Copies of this chain bind each other. A is one copy, B any other.
Amino acid sequence: VTDEQRFAELRSRLQEVDDLRKATWVLHWDLETMMPPGGAEVRAEQLGTLAGIAHERFTVDELGELLEALRGYEGELDYDSDEASLIRVARREYERARRVPAELRAEMVRAGSHGKQAWLRAREANDYAVFRPALERNLELQGQYIECLDGTADPYDVLVAEYEPGLTTADIAAVFEELRDQLTPLVTALEPPEEPPLDLGLSDRESRAAVDRVLARLGFDRDWGRVDTSVHPFMINFGTRDVRLTIYKEGGLRTVYAALHEFGHGLYERGVDPALERTLLAQGASGALHESQSLLWENLVGRGRPFCDWLARELGGVDPQALYRGANRIERSLIRVDADPVTYSLHVIFRFELEHELVSGALAPADLSEAWNSRVADYLGLAVPDDLRGVLQDMHWSDMLMGYFPSYALGHVASAQIWERASADLPQLDEELARGEFRPLAEWLRERVHRHGQKFTTPETMERAVGGGFDPEPLLRVVRSKLNSS
């Protein structure tokens, strides 16, 4: 058996696993956007079965033996080559996955499905207590999961490694502490805005039509993508040429910016080198890198003056200055996904702190709603009136996405770093954006970030994108500039 044959077998096995995973994603997407409620129970079983089989196929001994046998071959290849990267990343994921029994994985998927339903019921009742049992179950399973993996300095490190390969809890805490120390005095000093939120006067249908026009101009092509509605917007894709965005059913400026956010995620997946299709490299490098792309389009393109000028013309009959002010309305608020770029990071930082405490056991689920409300009071100076505007606002903890929140703020940090770099490389960028020409920026992002997919770790990808690690300074420069101009 030659190394080339071994590699071909590895690739073929990984393609099969990728097909299974993407099939699971199709079922998830359908559950969120299309499925009648009666389908929930059987769907949870289907998702559990598929995830279990994907895990089983990914963790067979033969795959480990192939990875072992290919060490020499890998060493001869360029580190950056698709082949070496596939072996390297597959080995990292294999070693991680081998320690977690298929039954636990399947149970986590099932619990995620059930948790999601419980979260939706709790939201309807506006009562965290309805969701608490599901959260307790999720934490119990999360704990079992962490136990399966190496005893790291901090149990939360296991979750960090899942979304941000190459980083630790301590790395993240260092970035967040600087951000928090700089932001807190600025945010607590914020006066309520004088103007009410901008009302574009668009119906739901008109907003949807506007979103469709804006996305088309941005280059979101119905040949490789589609847009639907769901409770919470998201992006998911089943191949580099099948990218699904969802937006809110309700219209308004918020929906336009949520669409920009999900577009950023979708463009990343679309930009992955097609040579990586049907492998685990055909996806964004990490949560933070993914969020850097969504936040770049939402905040740095979308809330910039040039884009607002273009958007005002595109919407017709909207004053550009009013639109710009409306899009940059800074206000301490209760809902993370509606937060402005100034206060946003603090929303994420206290979620990181809370879930870190939940995972370490320092905080009991019974106390979570109160802990949430007290953190909002301390950091944002706001009183949380009910769970819907508090602890029930995000679906992550219902769906086993514990550990993902830090990626949002890291992505926020990275988005400003990448934006500064792109602006330096593309001297005409402002003029292009003002004319609604988005291709030069999209191509720059593809070249610097998207095409690599998951070939490299979070720090390695940052190195290729901006020539260094996470640095909160560019984001703080954006924040200060927004505060000075308002």
On A, residues with C-beta under 8 Å from B are: 15-16, 19-20, 22-24, 26-27, 30, 34-39, 41-43, 45-46, 48-50, 53, 222-226, 238-239, 241-243, 277-278
Q: Which 8 A-B pairs have the closest CB atoms?
A: A39-B242, A38-B241, A42-B239, A38-B224, A19-B49, A19-B46, A38-B223, A16-B49
- 16 A-B residue pairs with CB within 8 Å: A15-B45, A15-B49, A16-B49, A23-B23, A23-B27, A23-B50, A26-B26, A35-B226, A38-B241, A41-B239, A42-B238, A42-B241, A42-B242, A42-B277, A42-B278, A43-B239
A27 partner, pick from B16, B26, B42, B278, beta carbons under 8 A: B26
Report the bound CA distance from A257 to B48 in whole Å. 38
Residues of chain B with a CB closer than 8 A to A224's CB: 36-39
Chain A contact residues: helix, strand, loop or mixed:
helix
Residues of chain B with a CB closer than 8 A to A26's CB: 26-27, 30, 46
Report the bound CA distance from A24 to B42 in whole Å. 14
A205 to chain B, nearest CB (A): 13
**Which residue of the partner chain B has the closest CB to A15?**
B45
Report the bound CA distance from A222 to B38 in whole Å. 9
A390 to chain B, nearest CB (A): 30
Report the bound CA distance from A247 to B239 in whole Å. 27
Given A19-B48, A36-B241, 15 more pairs with CB closer than 8 A: A15-B45, A23-B23, A23-B46, A26-B27, A36-B222, A36-B225, A36-B226, A38-B223, A38-B224, A39-B224, A39-B238, A42-B238, A42-B277, A45-B278, A46-B238
Let me know if B238 and A37 touch, CB within 8 A. Answer: no
A113 to chain B, nearest CB (A): 13
Residues of chain B with a CB closer than 8 A to A53's CB: 16, 20, 53
